[in-house]
Amino acid sequence: MGYKGKNTEERIKKEAMKLFLERGYKDVSMQDICNATGLSKGGLYRHFSSKSEILLSLVEDERKAEVSERIACRESAVQILTDYLDLFYRNMLMSDQSLAYALFEYASMEKDNPLMENSRTDSVLWKELIEYGVETGVFNIIDYRTVMNTLLFAYRGIRLWSRAIDIGEEIPASIVEAVKLLVIKDYRREKAE
Q: What is the pLDDT of residue 138?
A: 97
Phi-psi region of 24 (alpha: psi -120 to 50; beta: other; left: phi over 0): left
Q: What is the pLDDT of residue 118?
A: 62
Low pLDDT (below 70) residues in the chain = 1, 3, 60-65, 95-96, 98, 113-120, 189-193
Which tens digit of pLDDT belongs to each residue from 131-163? 999 999 999 999 999 988 888 888 888 877 877
Cα distances (angstroms) measured from residue 63 to each of 88, 91, 158: 10, 11, 16
φ/ψ (deg, to 5) at 5: -65, -40
Q: What is the pLDDT of residue 3?
A: 67
Contact 159, 75 (CB under 8 A): no
**Is the pTM of the predicted complex or chain greater than 0.85?**
no
| Integer Cα distance of 185 and 193 in angstroms | 14
**Residue 93, helix vs strand vs coil:** helix
Contact 80, 68 (CB under 8 A): no
**Domains defined for the chain, CATH in brackets:** 3-56 (1.10.10.60), 63-192 (1.10.357.10)
Q: What is the pLDDT of residue 115?
A: 62
Smallest Cα–Cα separation from 77: which of 156, 187, 169, 193? 187
Q: What is the pLDDT of residue 188?
A: 77
Contact 92, 172 (CB under 8 A): yes
Long-range contacts of range 154-161, CB-CB < 8 Å, 24 or more positions apart?
A: 155/88, 155/91, 155/92, 156/100, 158/92, 159/91, 159/92, 159/95, 159/98, 159/99, 159/100, 160/98, 160/100, 160/101, 160/104
Q: What is the pLDDT of residue 192?
A: 43
